[in-house]
Structure 1
């Protein structure tokens, strides 16, 4: 499969209408699912999350995903929200601004999603619906939980022209009801469906045939069994229309096929002579420790047969050899001790012994006990909210057996420090009346009004922004200090650094807000840094360019630390990509034309012509690279940085050309116009992406 893998996660848990109760799970579900889908070792999707948005924003994101697709692309859409049915039986997905009595204008129709599915060129589309379904009816009418929502009827099979698509829904029943205009409050519980989906992909347990890949059919079977086990009243449903198998993720579960032992060794293990069979046990024991797991499994099977069927002396020797390859872990018991409620302690276990004993899988006994496979073992995390002792089990299974690891400890409340006695102040002779004017402080604020703490900024992103600001401040000082008047400012070329100052300030500012420091800030800095490596310009600009390059490096370190963000390459597509490439190629062509005119004008101007060629190569490289970069938002910001740096370089090259020896300047004008066009096209594309 050569196409892209893109996922859109839509999570709506907060609603403006009081009739739609808030859902606890969508926000956490979106974060966990985005992390596992973007993991390069598992699914490697380019993930976009839309959280608590209005209906028109959600519809726009859905349409963009399906419209901007190629036949080989794999598209995955996950809805986590309320699912509502109108009086006429139409299905809608609730958004933040949804009103149950005005579904057609304030919710996302399932029919709209169906039309987008049909218009898409992709042959591999997966739609996952983790919704609580209810009916929207008049005042005083309630729907019982036994009704059928018939969700799959909103996405009928057929009519896809050979395209493949699959719809998997967490439930097909109207589990919750509207009582009057309000949804029953007992629905607010964590999502069983999405948590099972994340667990199956992350642990690889959904790989039922253990071939190292999780196919769509295997994933549904796993979801069905897991959801039914956790909630017998909930039954996932599916409607799959695909040719061939669609593999959504990799897994570490791979069945090891035993390699037959050599014929002479097998004959020795069955030889009538006891000492010959003992020698065979020694050789089989050596093969049991092989790095080749197939060879080790083959030897283990023969040793097992000898331990069960041979005479006592030989059976004991074969049993000793087998015990060396048994599954065992370090430690055998994980004791957390006292755990403060609200914290998330982590511990690790690792298998011990030869390679065949370390080829293990890990499974937990309880939902609060999270197990994640890592290199060399597994990581255990606790998610407990109740006070008291806990006791769980981790089952470690390998080709040579299994072992159970106990996890124990006790959850305690965080100790509250006793307040120190405050000495009473001395009596004041004249108490001020202002102390009793306003009794308002005596009314305690409700807990719900306390704002949630903001996430701490990433120190590397802050460092990148500060370096960009340092470059801008340095340029301002240089530009105005060297000019004694406005006339000198323009005659001495101080105006040529004004665009660079503006772009440096913009890129630095974008590294601080959480919404822009992941895409816009790093992209702008990297584009500016690319043009900053051009070996041209006054010596006084070296420090400013160095600051921009260091800022871009810190920004990339910040992205590398982001577990959800994944930078990659993909096919350029759409009108924007074509326009950006045309602008970049046109700008490079203009610089090449100017270089040719310089070469033809005088051999003494060859060095200037070479500089034009270097800048042309950098502009062309940056434009092409930005069109291929994914996520698309990062590529847009990168194009903006390339456009800004290109404008600065073209202005400096033009100013540095002596007026007495200037040639036509047609190439310079083309280059400047194309760089401005690239900036304008990038700005329009970024604005459209935000809308």
Structure 2
């Protein structure tokens, strides 16, 4: 469908006539529903809200919506107001200026809305009615309405001409009484219907078949169950005539279909040899951490079978592998502390583990506990008005299990402002007295645990610093004077020293030692460790390689994420690939030039070719590696190593007696461009 998605929300809670009591819910209903319908991640409607307007304004907006529509447009209208029934049985929607004894001229007739729907060109129209219905009587008649207000009778399906129309009502039989022309005050109640509607769309709970889409039929089933659960005396009704299914929103509740494990791995998991089955557990554990959730679920199913049916030794290994993918939150208790009434504090629940352990949905135990899911977990907010302690639960459910997160705290009244005191004469100077500061209690957010001491990260940092320190005697050995320092190539080791020190610092700092430090050190070691210069550089190269190995071990020991590969995204990734390809082409051209110049320079040409291949591989890895922060840092290290190799190849090659050709300049420009692209990518990720 290529048409527009447009929604009109009509919320009337304030009324001029004293006979119509004010409703507390429509304003809040309109705000919450407009927010979720306009959310690009959920429904992406173009939403208009009409709040507490007169009857002629509402009628004009309704007519405009239906008249200015195309066949492929999806139109949604939501009424939240009093619904009134005249003595002749006609249904009306109350507006701000409505008078119960003059409904025909001061309210919006349901028949008018039906005519607008029937004349619309749109083939997909949804009308949601969150209203109470009853009899309206003239002033002075003290009776109660009898019989049901059959709301759907005002919108008969036969009048739709077979086109796609749907009417869903909060109830078809709830009435309230007029005594004289006074409407009973006990109907100024919060809306169960719209609250369930918003929750079903926002959380994705209305996606009953978990196919990633919320169909209109699924939404009604969810509303029926939710409303009946909260209020057994209220039964939503529907009249739906649709050709095919109408999908109103997306959801994150997409059921993950397991991908069968390869036949040889399945055979290994059932092999009579226990050591073969142990090997299968190791491979299944690796697949369990895959970013492809179908692959991970398939591995989880096989591991579950082995944990339940195999011998004790194999079962324990399989259960240990499954435990890495269980659903778990970084904190199982969120303590808000003291919350001032009327505020809306926010905290986060972060999930840990591989991707399959974070593919979860959240359900709250109370309506005042709102949950908004995102890629890393969920944001929770409170909407409390009653004083006292509160205690709620958030159930996190995923394909590998579930966990319950407690939410607790206490709602307190807002402290009264302290009136300013009268100015008094300045006292005599006195010794300064320490005055305790007033503590302002704010919502407590889950605090991330301090980074644990990681010996391999420290070892990697020390080795990077050692590589940089060892470059000093190399520089002195190559250059006995300042003039020799520039002419004999002693300065070529300076960039390597700078980059090694930078990588060592990143491995030392807690903020960068988990991803950025290991990525930068591994990328630098990938190119810098290629034998291409003086023999004195061997120890430096060894330190860098050993540091990179230690960095990878520290990453492997961190169970909160797993290294993997993903698709390149965005223009910066393409720019990095172009720069890497250009550098590779330049080095290959230089190798060809050396071979054309002299066959004796084949060794130099081979080194140029090796560097070009490694540069291309490093660029590809930097663009594909996930997490993104590790990949960008790795790309930066590759760019730094490329700069180092450009310097070394230009001046430190044993037989480099001639001036390098155009290919070398192309390669140098390309790695510099790669460094610039990496900087922009890092800035984008940080922002």
Q: Answer yes or no: same fold by TM over 0.5.
A: yes
Offset of 1:82 from its aligned partner?
0.3
Residue pair 1:371, 1:380 contacting (<8 A) in 2 also:
yes
Offset of 1:160 from its aligned partner?
2.5
Aligned 1:41-60 pairs, distance under 5 A? 41-60=41-60
In 2, the alpha carbon distance for the partners of 1:195 and 1:280 equals 49
In 2, the alpha carbon distance for the partners of 1:126 and 1:21 equals 28
Task: Determine the structure 2 residue equivalent to 1:215.
Answer: 215
Residue pair 2:54, 2:95 contacting (<8 A) in 1 also:
yes
The answer to whether the aligner puts 1:237 opposite 2:237 as a matched pair is yes
Task: Determine the structure 1 residue equivalent to 2:103.
Answer: 103
83 and 423 in structure 1: CA distance in 2 versus 1, 3 angstrom threshold:
same
Q: Deviations over 1:305-346 (max 9, x none)?
A: 111111111111110000000000122210111111111110
In 2, the alpha carbon distance for the partners of 1:423 and 1:76 equals 61
Task: Determine the structure 2 residue equivalent to 1:407.
Answer: 407
In 2, the alpha carbon distance for the partners of 1:159 and 1:364 equals 41
Residue pair 1:84, 1:92 contacting (<8 A) in 2 also:
yes
Q: Deviations over 1:98-117 (max 9, x none)?
A: 10001011111101111111
Task: Determine the structure 2 residue equivalent to 1:355.
Answer: 355
Residue pair 2:174, 2:234 contacting (<8 A) in 1 also:
no
Task: Determine the structure 1 residue equivalent to 2:144.
Answer: 143
In 1, the alpha carbon distance for the partners of 2:313 and 2:221 equals 47
Q: Name the Cα RMSD after superposition.
A: 1.5
In 2, the alpha carbon distance for the partners of 1:348 and 1:74 equals 35
In 2, the alpha carbon distance for the partners of 1:410 and 1:24 equals 25
In 1, the alpha carbon distance for the partners of 2:73 and 2:228 equals 32
Offset of 1:84 from its aligned partner?
0.2
Offset of 1:422 from its aligned partner?
4.3
Residue pair 1:357, 1:398 contacting (<8 A) in 2 also:
yes
Residue pair 2:253, 2:361 contacting (<8 A) in 1 also:
yes
Offset of 1:420 from its aligned partner?
5.6
Task: Determine the structure 2 residue equivalent to 1:332.
Answer: 332
Q: Deviations over 1:83-130 (max 9, x none)?
A: 000001100000111100010111111011111111011110000000
In 2, the alpha carbon distance for the partners of 1:24 and 1:321 equals 53
Residue pair 2:228, 2:234 contacting (<8 A) in 1 also:
yes
TM-score of the pair, normalised by structure 2: 0.61
Task: Determine the structure 1 residue equivalent to 2:293.
Answer: 293
In 1, the alpha carbon distance for the partners of 2:56 and 2:331 equals 53
Offset of 1:424 from its aligned partner?
11
Task: Determine the structure 2 residue equivalent to 1:308.
Answer: 308
Indicate the SS of the match to 1:84. strand
Indicate the SS of the match to 1:380. strand
98 and 417 in structure 1: CA distance in 2 versus 1, 3 angstrom threshold:
closer
Offset of 1:16 from its aligned partner?
0.7
Indicate the SS of the match to 1:300. helix
Task: Determine the structure 2 residue equivalent to 1:204.
Answer: 204
Indicate the SS of the match to 1:153. helix
In 2, the alpha carbon distance for the partners of 1:344 and 1:377 equals 19
Task: Determine the structure 2 residue equivalent to 1:511.
Answer: none
Offset of 1:411 from its aligned partner?
1.0
Residue pair 1:193, 1:227 contacting (<8 A) in 2 also:
yes
In 1, the alpha carbon distance for the partners of 2:337 and 2:18 equals 43
Offset of 1:161 from its aligned partner?
2.9
Offset of 1:300 from its aligned partner?
0.2
Residue pair 1:147, 1:174 contacting (<8 A) in 2 also:
no
Q: Deviations over 1:435-456 (max 9, x none)?
A: xxxxxxxxxxxxxxxxxxxxxx
In 2, the alpha carbon distance for the partners of 1:141 and 1:212 equals 52
Indicate the SS of the match to 1:347. strand
In 1, the alpha carbon distance for the partners of 2:56 and 2:263 equals 70
97 and 358 in structure 1: CA distance in 2 versus 1, 3 angstrom threshold:
same
Indicate the SS of the match to 1:222. helix
Aligned 1:539-550 pairs, distance under 5 A? none
Task: Determine the structure 2 residue equivalent to 1:26.
Answer: 26
Q: Deviations over 1:379-438 (max 9, x none)?
A: 11011111111110000000100000000111112222554654899xxxxxxxxxxxxx
TM-score of the pair, normalised by structure 1: 0.60
Indicate the SS of the match to 2:157. coil
Aligned 1:521-670 pairs, distance under 5 A? none
Residue pair 1:304, 1:318 contacting (<8 A) in 2 also:
yes
Aligned 1:82-101 pairs, distance under 5 A? 82-101=82-101
Offset of 1:159 from its aligned partner?
3.5
In 2, the alpha carbon distance for the partners of 1:247 and 1:287 equals 34
Task: Determine the structure 1 residue equivalent to 2:612.
Answer: none
Q: Count the aligned residue pairs.
A: 424
Task: Determine the structure 1 residue equivalent to 2:367.
Answer: 367
Q: Deviations over 1:495-523 (max 9, x none)?
A: xxxxxxxxxxxxxxxxxxxxxxxxxxxxx
In 2, the alpha carbon distance for the partners of 1:164 and 1:348 equals 41
In 2, the alpha carbon distance for the partners of 1:412 and 1:232 equals 33
Task: Determine the structure 2 residue equivalent to 1:64.
Answer: 64
Q: Deviations over 1:188-227 (max 9, x none)?
A: 1111111111111111111111111110000001111111
Indicate the SS of the match to 2:381. strand
Residue pair 1:196, 1:227 contacting (<8 A) in 2 also:
yes
Structure 2 unaligned spans of 5+: 426-687
In 2, the alpha carbon distance for the partners of 1:391 and 1:56 equals 46
257 and 419 in structure 1: CA distance in 2 versus 1, 3 angstrom threshold:
same
The answer to whether the aligner puts 1:40 opposite 2:4 as a matched pair is no
The answer to whether the aligner puts 1:184 opposite 2:184 as a matched pair is yes
Bigger Cα Rg = 2
Indicate the SS of the match to 1:87. coil
Indicate the SS of the match to 2:158. coil
